[in-house]
Amino acid sequence: MTDDSRVRLSELIAPAFLPVHRDIRRGDHDEYWLKGGRGSAKSSFVSLELVLGLMRGAAARDAAGEAGLPSAIVYRRVAATLRESVYAQVIWAIERLGVARFFDCRVSPMEIRYRPTGQRILFRGADDPGKSKSIKLSRGYFGFLWFEELAEFSGMEAVRTIRASALRGGSRGVTFYTYNPPASARNWVNEEALRPVPGRLVHASSYLDVPEKWLGADFIAQAEALRGSNERAYRHMYLGEVTGSGAQVFDNLELRRISDAEIEAMDRFYCGLDFGFAADPDALTRWAYDRRGRVLCAVDEFYGARNSVDRLAGEAKARCADAVVRCDSADPRMIAELARRGVKAVGVRKGPGSVEHGLRWLRDLGKIVIDPERTPNIAREFSGYEYAQDRNGNILSEYPDRDNHAIDSARYALEPEIGRRVATTRSDLY
């Protein structure tokens, strides 16, 4: 059992969220749509509210006894992303509240249990919303539901299916939605957030609402660097604004001539190779990256279908010299054959969410500089790549798997940068 007087919530909850905290305590709303840019502390806030909510529920249980005990369930679209994000986030909240001795945490199955009463925080992927129908508790009910990275979900219908299945029984259920608003105003998340729904509170925040010492100097420096190089991307990524990019995925492109002298001045190069199958082309690309300014520059390309392994090996050695060439790991035989011919070919790591993460990283760069004459296929793919749309022309948060061979090659090439973690004082802020 805990009490707000035992901890200083002002040291854990960002000032912008204190009115929301009081609103939750009063029970004024059933839905909390918390939108914001990177580092806005919205996920940290919800993790604290889940832990506090369970413990308050245990302390205030009424004549219903165990049937009146609230538990919580947390969803992300892909189950494989849970452990490194929301699960770790809730553990952080438990530790910062100083109540770790009251909780048991395990990963198989992934759940956190409150020892005094047996209340639980469950973690699930929404890969199949229908699976939520089978989730039941041996005691109590789900009083709290959290959808993290809401924009990753396929649509509100899938969310409603989960919500209707989880929030059954009990006196009150509270749902939290946390998300970075998609750039397009036509995205379903942005449209849904504008709908006037009784019992819904929509709250916006950004890193500017968070004490700087929580974020760290590196985080602030990166935000300011992007602000200087691409204000539109800065407003979207860090301020959480709907910047209205429409259907185009990459609105950070700079199509212009790149001189040989400009390339010679660069010092950080990466190569990638996406293998073509059947009539699809092979796409070998070479890139230069300015980490400080977050500027990616297309340097070279080879693009064509039905190439022999000898042809690919020759092109790779000619364009990438002795640099590592990161390849599509779906064809280990081809990677081995390239290696036998002297190419430093390696397969990239893949997993659930890797495509979305890589594209988001590319999309959030300060700018991507492409010379249409030097690399025409890269220019064509990046400038023409658009979000999927439904039959009515509504833009969806889905990336089409077509006309994206050079784009995939870029993701493979930049894998060391895409997977790079920058240390901050508060790495728990999402």
Specify if 285 maps to a domain. yes
CATH of the domain at 190: 3.40.50.300
Residues 88, 136, single domain; the answer is yes
Is position 149 annotated as part of the catalytic site? yes
Q: pLDDT band for 245, please (50, 70, 90 cuts).
A: low
Smallest CA-to-CA distance from 401 within 387, 390, 418, 416 is with 387
268 shares its domain with 209: no
User: What single-letter amino acid sits at 154?
Assistant: S
What's the structural domain count of the chain? 2
Q: Give tens-digit pLDDT for 336-363.
A: 999 999 999 999 988 788 898 999 999 9
Q: Do both 185 and 271 map to the same domain? A: no
CA distance 249 to 236: 13
> Same domain for 186 and 261?
no
Alpha carbon distances (Å) from 249 to 46, 273, 274, 393: 30, 21, 20, 15
Both 203 and 67 in one domain: the answer is yes
Q: Do 50 and 195 belong together in one domain?
A: yes
| Residue 428: pLDDT band with limits 50, 70, 90 | very low
Percentage of residues in the chain with pLDDT exceeding 90? 60
**Selected residue with higher pLDDT from 151 and 167:** 151
Residues 295 and 409 in one domain: yes
User: Residue 71 belongs to what domain range?
Assistant: 4-217
Q: Does some domain include residue 168?
A: yes
Model confidence at 408, pLDDT cuts 50, 70, 90, reads very high
The answer to whether the CB of 54 falls within 8 A of the CB of 114 is: yes
Which amino acid does the sequence have at 144?
F
pTM of the entire predicted model: 0.64
Domain boundary among 217, 236, 270: 217
Instruction: Please say if the pLDDT value at position 130 is more than 70.
Output: no
Residue 158 and residue 30 in one domain: yes
pLDDT at position 333 over 80: yes
Where among 169, 197, 217 does a domain terminate? 217
Alpha-carbon gap, residue 82 to 88, rounded angstroms: 8
Q: What is the pLDDT of residues 143-161, one digit of tens each?
A: 999 999 999 998 999 999 8
Q: What is the average per-residue pLDDT within 384-403?
A: 80
241: Cβ contacts below 8 Å, ≥ 6 apart: 37, 181, 235
Q: Where are the beta strands (DSSP E) in 211-328?
A: 253-255, 269-274, 281-290, 295-305, 325-327
Say how far apart CA 285 and CA 256 lie, in whole Å.
Answer: 18
Q: Does residue 426 contact residue 216 with C-beta atoms inside 8 Å? A: yes
Q: Residue 424 pLDDT > 80, yes or no?
A: no
| Single residue among 217, 236, 261 that ends a domain in this structure | 217
DSSP state string for 109-176: TEEEEETTT--EEEEEE-SSGGGGGG---SSSEEEEEEEESGGGSS-HHHHHHHHHHHS-SSS--EEE
For residue 395, being part of any structural domain is answered with yes
Residues 313 and 266 occupy one common structural domain: yes
Residues 264 and 201 in one domain: no
pLDDT in tens, 264-322: 888 899 999 999 887 889 999 999 999 888 999 999 999 998 899 999 999 999 999 99
**Residue 51: φ, ψ to 5°:** -65, -45
Catalytic residue among 49, 148, 149, 315: 149
